[in-house]
Amino acid sequence: MRILVYGPTSYIGEFFIRECLRRGWEVVAKVRNPVKWEIIGFNEIKSKNLITELDKIKKVDAAINFAYVQDSPWHLVHRKTRALISSYLHDALHLSADKIIEISSLAVFGIPLKMDPVPAPLKMQYGNLYMEQKLIAERTLLFEMQTKKAIPVIIRLGNVIGPNAKSWTSNLAKLIILQMPLGNGISNSTYINNIINYICHIITTEKNYLRAFGPIHHIAEFSDYSWKDIVDKLGERLDLEPRYSEQNIKEYMEDDNNIVKNLGKYLPYIFGVLPKESVNPLVKIIYIIKSSFRIKKLDIPNISPVYFEKKQFRSYTLEDWIPPFSFTEAMDNISEWLKKSGYSFFE
Amino acid sequence: MKKYKEKIKTLDIIGCGAVIALYHFPILKYLEKNNFIRVRYCIDSNIDNAKKIAIGFKNAYPAKDLKAEEKADYAVLTTPPEAHYEYLIRVESDMLVEKPPVCTIEEFNNINNLKMMMGKSIIVGFIRRLFPSVRLAKLILEKGLIGKLKAIVVYEGKRWSWPSYSEYPVRSKWGGVIYDTGSHALDMALYISGVNSLGENISFKIKTIKKEPKYEPAHELIAQIILDIDNLNELFLSINLSRRQNLANIIRFIGTKGSILIPTDFSNYAILKINKEIKKVYCNEELVPRSLEDAFKLEWMTLLKREEYRDYFDILEFSNFKLLTIILQTIGEG
Q: How far apart are CA B323 and CA A119, in angstroms?
A: 59
Contacts of B278 in chain A (CB under 8 A): 179, 240, 345
Predicted TM-score (pTM) of the model is: 0.89
Q: Judge if B95 and B164 occupy the same domain.
A: no
Max CA pair span of chain B: 71
Is residue B37 domain-resident? yes
Confidence of residue A104 (pLDDT cuts 50, 70, 90): very high
Residue B279, in any domain of the structure: yes
SS3 state at B254: strand
Q: What is the pLDDT of residue A179?
A: 86
Residue B295 lies inside a defined structural domain of this protein: no
Q: How far is CA B233 from the centre of its chain?
A: 27
pLDDT recorded at residue A305 = 81
Task: Return mean pLDDT, chain A.
Answer: 86
Of A40, A173, A346, Cβ closest to residue B261? A346
- Chain A residues with CB-CB distance to B251 below 8 A: none
CATH number, domain containing residue B76: 3.40.50.720
Q: For the domain that residue B183 is a member of, what is the CATH number?
A: 3.30.360.10
Return the higher-pLDDT residue of B184 and A254: B184
pLDDT for the residue numbered A256: 45
Judge whether residue A270 has pLDDT over 70.
no
Find the closest chain A residue to B176 by CA distance: A39
Q: Mean of the pLDDT values across residues A302-331? A: 92
Determine the average pLDDT of the residues in A87-116.
94
In this prediction, residue A289 carries a pLDDT of 63
- Tell me, yes or no, whether B256 and B277 share the same domain: yes
Same domain, B76 and B181: no
Which residues in chain B touch residue A240, judged by CB atoms under 8 angstroms apart? 278
**CA dist., res. B331 & res. B334, Å (int):** 5
Residue B238 at interface with chain A, using a CB cutoff of 8 Å? no
CB of A74 less than 8 A from some CB of B: no
Q: Are A169 and A334 in contact (CB under 8 A)?
A: yes
Is residue B192 within 8 Å of B134, Cβ to Cβ?
Answer: yes
Residue B193 identity (one-letter amino acid): S
pLDDT in tens, B133-162: 999 999 999 999 999 999 999 999 999 987
Q: Answer with the one of B102, B127, B152 that is the final residue of a domain.
A: B127
Residue A280: pLDDT over 70: no
pLDDT at A159: 97
Handedness of CA A110, A116, A120, A121 (dihedral sign): negative
Domain final residue pick, B112, B127, B142: B127
- Write down the pLDDT at residue B243: 96
| Percentage helix, strand, coil for chain B under 3-state DSSP, each rounded to 5 | 35, 30, 35
In angstroms and rounded to an integer, the radius of gyration of the C-alpha atoms of chain B is: 20
Please state, in angstroms and rounded to a whole number, the distance separating the CA atoms of residues A188 and A158: 5
Q: What is the pLDDT of residue A285?
A: 65
Amino acid at site A225: Y
Mean pLDDT, residues A305-328 taken together: 94
User: Phi-psi category of B231—alpha, beta or left, where left has phi over 0 and alpha has psi -120 to 50?
Assistant: left
Name beta bridge partners: A217.
Answer: A155
| Percentage with pLDDT > 70 across chain B | 97
- Is the CB of A174 less than 8 angstroms away from the CB of B248? yes
Q: Please state the domain count of chain B.
A: 2
- Residue where a domain terminates, one of B94, B127, B160: B127
Same domain, B199 and B326: yes
Task: Determine the distance in angstroms separating the CA of B126 from the nearest CA of chain A, rounded to an integer.
Answer: 23
**Which residue in B158, B221, B242, B246 has the most chain A C-beta atoms within 10 A of its own C-beta, making it the best mutation to test that interface?**
B246
Q: Are strands A26-30 and A2-6 parallel, antiparallel or unpaired?
A: parallel
| pLDDT at residue A254 is higher than 50 | no
Alpha-carbon distance of A77 to A83, in angstroms, equals: 10
What is the rounded CA–CA span in Å between residue A241 and residue A234?
A: 10
Closest residue by Cα to residue A119 from A208, A243, A186, A213:
A213
Q: Residues B83, B173: one domain? A: no
In this prediction, residues B284-304 reach a mean pLDDT of 92
Confidence of residue B4 (pLDDT cuts 50, 70, 90): low
What's the pLDDT at A263? 62
Q: How far apart are CA B224 and CA B208, in angstroms?
A: 5
Is A11 part of the contact surface with chain B (CB cutoff 8 Å)?
A: yes
Confirm whether B192 is domain-assigned: yes
Closest partner CB to B159 (pick from A11, A44, A343): A11
More confident residue, B218 or A132: B218
As for the ipTM of the complex, it is 0.89
Instruction: From chain A, pick out residues whose CB is under 8 angstroms from the CB of B238.
Output: none
Quick one: average pLDDT of B56-74? 88
Return d(Cα B267, Cα B260) in angstroms, integer.
14
Which pLDDT does position A259 carry in this prediction? Answer: 56
Q: Please report whether residue B59 resides in a domain.
A: yes
Banded pLDDT at A275 (limits 50, 70, 90): very low
List the one residue out of A73, A18, A72 whose CA is nearest residue A47.
A18
pLDDT digits over A174-233, tens only? 999 888 888 889 999 999 999 999 999 999 999 999 999 999 999 999 999 999 999 999
Beta-carbon contacts below 8 Å between A and B: 78
Q: pLDDT tens digits, residue range A113-131?
A: 888 899 999 988 877 788 9
Q: Which residues of A76-99 are buried (b: 16+ CB within 10 A; e: fewer)?
A: ebbbbbbebbeebbebbbebebbb
Q: Can you give chain A as a three-state secondary structure string? A: CEEEEECCCCHHHHHHHHHHHHHCCEEEEECCCHHHHHHHCHHHCCCCCEECCHHHCCCCCEEEECCCCCCCCHHHHHHHHHHHHHHHHHHHHHCCCCEEEEEEEHHHHCCCCCCCCCCCCCCCCCCCHHHHHHHHHHHHHHHHHHHCCCEEEEEEECEEECCCCHHHHHHHHHHHHCCCEECCCECCEEEHHHHHHHHHHHHHCCHHHHHHHCCEEEECCECCCEHHHHHHHHHHHCCCCCEECCCCCCCCCCCCCCHHHHHHHHHHHHCCCCCCCCCCHHHHHHHHHHHHCCCCCCCCCCCCHHHHCCCCCCCECCCCCCCCCCHHHHHHHHHHHHHHCCCCCCC
Q: What residues of chain A lie within 8 A of the CB of B254, using their CB?
A: 346-347
- Average pLDDT on A140-149 reads 93
| Residues B281-309: b if buried by 16+ CB within 10 A, e if exposed | bebeeeebbeeeeebbbbbbbbbbeeeeb
DSSP-derived secondary structure for B177-218: TTTTHHHHHHHHHHHHHTGGGSGGGEEEEEEEEEEESSSSSP
In-domain check, residue B168: yes
Q: How far does CA A65 lie from the centroid of its chain?
A: 11
Q: Which of A240, A342, A346 sits opposite B240 (nearest CB)?
A: A342
- In angstroms, the CA B332 to CA B210 distance is 11
Q: Which residues contact B85 (CB under 8 A, 6 or more apart)?
A: B102, B103, B107, B110, B111
pLDDT averaged over chain B? 92
Among A146-150, A341-345, B136-140, the least confident range: A341-345
Give me the domain span that covers residue B156: 128-289+318-333
Mean pLDDT of B83-112: 95
**Which residue type does B201 have?**
N
**B122 pLDDT higher than 80:** yes
List beta partners, residue B155: B240, B250
Q: Is the pLDDT of residue A149 over 60?
A: yes
Whether residue A296 is predicted with pLDDT greater than 60 in this model: the reply is no
In degrees, rounded to 5, the angle at the alpha carbon of residue B149 between the alpha carbons of residues A177 and B225 is 90
* Chain A residue closest in CA terms to B258: A346
Q: Is residue B181 domain-shared with residue B327, that is, in the same domain?
A: yes
Check whether residue B325 and residue B192 sit in a common domain: yes
In a domain, B3, yes or no: no
Residue A274 has a pLDDT of 45
> Does the pLDDT of residue B230 top 90, yes or no?
no
Cβ contact B213–A44 (<8 Å): yes
From A120's Cα to the closest Cα of chain B, the distance in A is 33
Q: What pLDDT, on a 0 to 100 scale, did the predictor assign at position A287?
A: 59
CB interface of B with A, residues 249-278, below 8 Å? 249-250, 252, 254, 259, 261, 263, 271, 273, 278
Residues 152..191 of B with a Cβ closer than 8 Å to A: which? Answer: 153, 155, 157, 159-161, 163-164, 167, 169-170
- Nearest-Cα distance to chain B for A173, in Å, is 8
Judgement on whether residues B137 and B177 belong to the same structural domain of the protein: yes
User: How close A308 comes to chain B (CA, Å)?
Assistant: 23
The reply to whether B136 and B213 lie within a common domain is yes
* Helix-helix angle A327-340:A227-237, to 10 degrees: 50
Q: pLDDT tens, A43-94?
A: 888 889 999 998 889 999 999 999 999 877 777 888 899 999 999 999 999 9
Asked if residue A282 lies in contact with residue A319, where contact means CB atoms within 8 angstroms, the answer is no
Q: Are residues B137 and B192 in the same domain?
A: yes
CA pair distance A168, A225, nearest whole angstrom: 14
Quote the pLDDT of residue A269: 55
Residue B235 lies in a domain: yes
B199 against A237, higher pLDDT: A237
Q: In this complex, do B248 and A170 lie within 8 Å of one another by their Cβ atoms?
A: yes
Residue B226 shares a structural domain with residue B210: yes
In this structure, are B120 and B190 located in the same domain? no
CA A91 – CA B72 distance, rounded (Å): 52
Pairing of strands B149-157, B269-274: unpaired
pLDDT at A276: 45
Q: Do A164 and B245 touch (CB under 8 A)?
A: yes
